[in-house]
């Protein structure tokens, strides 16, 4: 059965043609990252869906079998479902689908990375806070017009630095322009991450 592109979500209109797709971490919801989105770009529209998978009552964007061990079939179908939702939302709200920047934290960063690899046409850029390698795609995507910023915590107990490096390498191999930043932090998001990502967003084309 074709997945329905319907997600509980928030849409905050902006004054520029850019839209940030905000993707929360495990246990988050569609309201969590709205202040972060505004801080990263005061003018962009914000589209913020709630992950549909529940893990002990906590929303996520795809199922996992254990921490860091993903249910790959679920991840693939959820990635397509989210990409279809984004296209449907672009039509419904009338925002430019070629100026879409994903902003994901943790589980949200992982599905954003999966979307880059499986549906490379959807995002023009992505900010990935505390991301892992979600999957290895069967065919190499063409990400030659995509910019990616990755923020890693040097002491992240969930994601070793080698894992983040591997993700950067996969994305670069597919042609993406990747900026990697390390912060003296764990898995949590820090003000230094947000400030560095904010400065990077300013450098993107309007
Ligand atoms: C995930 O499941 O996507 C990662 O383990 C990050 C997390 O949600 O804790």
- 161-203 residue pLDDT tens: 999 999 999 999 999 999 999 999 999 999 999 999 999 999 9
Phi first, then psi: what are they for 197, rounded to 5°? -65, -40
Phi first, then psi: what are they for 172, rounded to 5°? -65, -40
Residue 82 to residues 19, 21, 202: CA-CA distances in angstroms?
A: 15, 10, 26
Please indicate whether residue 67 or residue 12 has the higher confidence score (pLDDT). 12
Residue among 106, 114, 124, 193 flagged as catalytic? 106
How far apart CA 147 and CA 101 sit, in angstroms, is 9
Q: Is the pLDDT reported for residue 1 higher than 60?
A: no
Residue 171 to residues 15, 120, 166: CA-CA distances in angstroms?
A: 30, 11, 9
How far apart CA 17 and CA 8 sit, in angstroms, is 23
Residue 82 Cα to ligand 1 middle (Å) = 17
How far apart CA 145 and CA 71 sit, in angstroms, is 29
Residue 17 Cα to ligand 1 middle (Å) = 31
- pLDDT per residue as tens digits for the range 56-91: 999 999 999 998 899 999 999 999 999 999 999 999
CA-only gyration radius of the chain, Å: 15
Q: Is the CB of 68 under 6 A from ligand 1?
A: yes
**pLDDT band for position 34 (cuts 50, 70, 90):** very high
Residue 45 Cα to ligand 1 middle (Å) = 26
What does the block give as tokens for 140? Answer: 């190499």
Burial string for 68-77 (b: 16+ CB within 10 Å, else e) reads: eebeeeebbe
What does the block give as tokens for 120? Answer: 């490379």
Q: Is the CB of 51 under 6 A from ligand 1?
A: no
Q: Is there a catalytic annotation at residue 92?
A: no
Residues 150 and 179 sit within 8 Å (Cβ to Cβ): yes
Q: Is the CB of 114 under 6 A from ligand 1?
A: no
Q: Is there a catalytic annotation at residue 156?
A: yes
How far apart CA 17 and CA 93 sit, in angstroms, is 12
Counting atoms of ligand 1 from 1, which one is nearest the CA of 130? Answer: 6
Helical H runs in 53-134?
72-93, 107-118
Residue 163 Cα to ligand 1 middle (Å) = 13
CA nearest ligand 1 atom 1, residue: 107
pLDDT (0 to 100) of residue 5: 53
Global pTM value: 0.96
From the number of C-beta atoms within 10 Å of its C-beta (0-12, 13-18, 19+), residue 4 rates as exposed
Q: Is there a catalytic annotation at residue 106?
A: yes
Counting atoms of ligand 1 from 1, which one is nearest the CA of 60? Answer: 8
């Amino acid at each position: 059965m074709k997945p329905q592109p319907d997600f509980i979500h928030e849409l905050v209109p902006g004054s520029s043609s850019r839209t940030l797709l905000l993707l929360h971490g495990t246990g988050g919801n569609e309201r969590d990252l709205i202040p972060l989105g505004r801080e990263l770009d005061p003018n962009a529209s914000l589209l913020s869906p709630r992950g549909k998978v529940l893990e002990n009552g906590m929303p996520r964007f795809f199922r996992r079998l254990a921490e860091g061990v993903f249910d790959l079939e679920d991840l693939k179908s959820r990635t397509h479902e989210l990409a279809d939702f984004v296209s449907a939302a672009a039509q419904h709200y009338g925002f430019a689908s070629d100026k879409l920047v994903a902003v994901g934290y943790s589980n949200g960063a992982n599905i954003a990375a999966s979307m880059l690899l499986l549906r490379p046409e959807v995002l023009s850029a992505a900010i990935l806070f505390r991301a892992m390698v979600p999957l290895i795609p069967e065919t190499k995507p063409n990400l030659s017009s995509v910019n990616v910023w990755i923020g890693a915590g040097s002491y992240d107990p969930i994601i070793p630095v080698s894992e983040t490096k591997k993700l950067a390498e996969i994305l670069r191999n597919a042609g993406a322009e990747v900026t990697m930043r390390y912060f003296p932090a764990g898995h949590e998001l820090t003000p230094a991450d947000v400030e560095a990502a904010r400065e990077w967003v300013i450098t993107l084309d309007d």
